[in-house]
Amino acid sequence: MVPVLLCVLNGGLWARAAETPFRPPAVPLVTFDPYLSIWSEADHLTDANTRHWTRREQALASLVRIDGKTFRLMGAEPRNAPPLPQLSVQVFPTRTLYEFAGAGVHIRLTFMTAALPHDLDVFSRPLSYVTWDVTSEDGATHDVSIYASVSSELAVNQPNQPVVWSREQAGPLTALRAGTKAQPILGSSGDNHRIDWGYAYAAALTQDSQSVVGANDDLLAGFVQAGFLPGIDDSQMPRAADDRTPVLAFVFRLHAVGSKPQERQLIIAYDEIDAIKYYGTNLVPYWRRNGMSPEELLQTAASDYPSLEKRCAKFDHDLMEDLTRVGGAEYAQICALAYRECAAACGLAADANGQPLYFTKENTSNGDIATVDVIYPMDPIWILLSPTLAKATLEPIFAYAASPHWKFPNAPHDLGTYPLVFGRDDGGEGMPVEESGNMLILSDAIAHDDGNADFVAPWWPQLTQWADYLTKYGLDPENQLCTDDFMGHLAHNANLSIKAILGLAAYGDLCRMRGDTTDAKKFSDMARFDAKHWMQVAADDNHYRLAFDKPGTWSQKYNLVWDRILGLDVFPRSVARKEIKFYKSVMQPYGLPLDSRTRLTKTDWSIWTATLASHRAGFESFISPIYDYLDHTTVRDPVSDSYVTDTLRKGGFHARPVVGGFYIKMLTNHRIWKKWASGDETKPANWAPLPAR
């Protein structure tokens, strides 16, 4: 690996020196949503087969044949083909770059998902590009061919499900597809669940490739021995995905490879057909809202690639520069991983008006959809980069809360189990203060994006109701859950009280934007009065308590971060300074525990807490232990947002949208915040969501 972060941009190099090369715990390859999310959980791409974030194998394979000898580039099979030496791996917000060299040839293998947040037409395309750039590095000319395959495992929940496959022509592309025979569209839900409806696609230019659908082991062996594929598709279908695993395979024959790079490309896509069941109505994926077919999707993706390659490189370059400027090189690398993971943990659908609705999934916790205390930690990334997506996360919550089915004075907790939205008439899963504060704070942050409160105008009665609820119950919360529900119920929760106080201040700020000076002053004054009371009852020597009635305890006060970001100025800066100073005394080797009851941390909250530091060096002192954990942990999952801070051998929640909250530090630099938010190209003028039921 090279000890530097590199980003190719128009032939030049942008670099930020790092003391040592970063080793991601898992490397994002083909990432789009909770169903199309494939990672390499190894140091080298050839050490293990690729996997879905649920750890179920979904094999992508690549071999290269150089002057008659075959090497592996991706995947652990076949073992009789040695790996081509891997030089480096680098992860950026939209791309992963691998470098290989051996047998006189250099290969750059790039995985690109054009998740450009300012262009939802592109962002919503359910596909990734896999690109091989091959050159000679010894001055000689080489005979090179490349094998690539996509397993039918991508289209099943269980490996014994029968699959079918077909060949299609999409303009200049040959497209192979595979899916279950049963096609139970939106017929199931859950956490440890993979899609078993719709179709996985692999597509490449017909003129550049040979293609076939066949048994995985047979095709790998055939390429190793002869360098080409059989000419006839496997006809023994349907059969189970684990019965001589059918794969969608391509071979690319390169002309004599010399010093001039030669490029070949495979597009891996997934057509879900329908994305979300919304109170009994199937919503189409956002890319399908105007009737685009899979064949049109693939053709458009192929023709757009040259421009998208440049746009993604520039996006990566600019975002990494700003991340580094604000938080340092280690922070930038963590956030690059978080971008891919966050975007791949949500589904983007279109409502009846063709407008975007963005649904989170609680991966590795319980599979809930549109969970408010998951949206709350996630949304800093979209408040920064795509106000439209931030709004699209809140819209379904507001619509449900305004329906006759929600009869509670507080905000809801979630809307069902991904991908099924059915509403939960349960009072908010025991988190009434948590979710009400979350909705008020996020609404104010979005209003800061817009410079007005127009977005929340249709939902003003709900916001007012939640503010009234917090007025009565927020200052000293009763025995209830907060977002850290795995820690159990807790009364008099000091951090939860901060959320309620800032929620009231946020409501007052929204009143100000609406021209209601009377209520603006009322709620602002109330929040400041409550903050003074909080400082008295939470005080515990050199820090503030976990709970008002528990002396000798402490907790991360991560909710305090919004006071500065939104300019609410409710708490004196001395509160944050005191907490930051104290946290340094209880820091563990791999981060700051959540509170005095545990060694467990929440990575998202730790970065929010780090953002309370008044100086860059203080912020980086919280980031470095997190970076070290990710760099050295033996748990090879996508970025974990929970782990134990004194060991490298335990993981926790992972592949979750909450890692979008890592971007909250960027919101403290208002110039950078406004620069990115103002670039949002997709701004629906009037939000008109589906009725709740």
* Tokens linked to 604: 């998202």
Q: Facing residues of 5 across strands?
A: 16
The mean pLDDT value for 513-520 works out to: 98
- Is the pLDDT confidence value at 559 over 60? yes
- Is the pLDDT confidence value at 13 over 80? no
Report CA torsion sign: 335, 336, 341, 343.
positive
Q: CA-CA distance, 328 to 595, in Å (whole number)? A: 26
Q: CA-CA distance, 22 to 633, in Å (whole number)? A: 12
Which residues are CB-neighbours of 373 under 8 A, at least 6 positions away?
413, 431, 434, 435, 438, 482, 483
- pLDDT tens by residue, 409-421: 999 999 999 999 9
Instruction: Residue 88: count other Cβ atoms within 10 Å of its Cβ.
Output: 15
- Is the pLDDT confidence value at 499 over 50? yes
Q: Facing residues of 564 across strands?
A: none
Among 99-108, 555-564, 683-692, name the one with the lowest average pLDDT: 683-692
Q: Select from 562, 468, 485 the least CA-distant residue to 523.
A: 468
- Is the pLDDT confidence value at 17 over 60? no
Torsions phi, psi for 17 (to 5 deg):
-65, 135
Give the chain's mean pLDDT: 94
User: CA–CA distance from 385 to each of 460, 466, 683 (Å)?
Assistant: 25, 27, 13
Residue in the structure block whose two tokens are 């770059």: 97
Q: Facing residues of 111 across strands?
A: 96, 130
* Tokens linked to 246: 């059918």
Q: End-to-end distance of the chain based on CA atoms, in angstroms?
A: 54
The mean pLDDT value for 126-138 works out to: 98
- Is the pLDDT confidence value at 305 over 80? yes
- pLDDT tens by residue, 65-121: 999 999 999 999 999 999 999 999 999 999 999 999 999 999 999 999 999 999 999
Give, to the nearest 10 degrees, the angle between helix 494-513 and helix 517-538: 170
* pLDDT score recorded for residue 19: 53
Q: Select from 340, 338, 345, 343 the least CA-distant residue to 418.
A: 345
Contact 76, 48 (CB under 8 A): yes
The mean pLDDT value for 382-411 works out to: 96
Is residue 465 exposed (0-12), middle (13-18) or buried (19+ Cβ within 10 Å)?
middle
* pLDDT score recorded for residue 130: 98
**Percentage of the chain lying above the pLDDT 70 cut:** 95
Q: What is the pTM of this model?
A: 0.95
What the chain holds in terms of domains, given with CATH numbers, is: 30-313 (2.70.98), 355-677 (1.50.10.10)
The mean pLDDT value for 303-329 works out to: 98
* pLDDT score recorded for residue 425: 76
- pLDDT tens by residue, 575-610: 999 999 999 999 999 999 999 999 999 999 999 999
* pLDDT score recorded for residue 6: 39
Residue 688 pLDDT grade (very low, low, confident, very high; cuts 50, 70, 90)? low
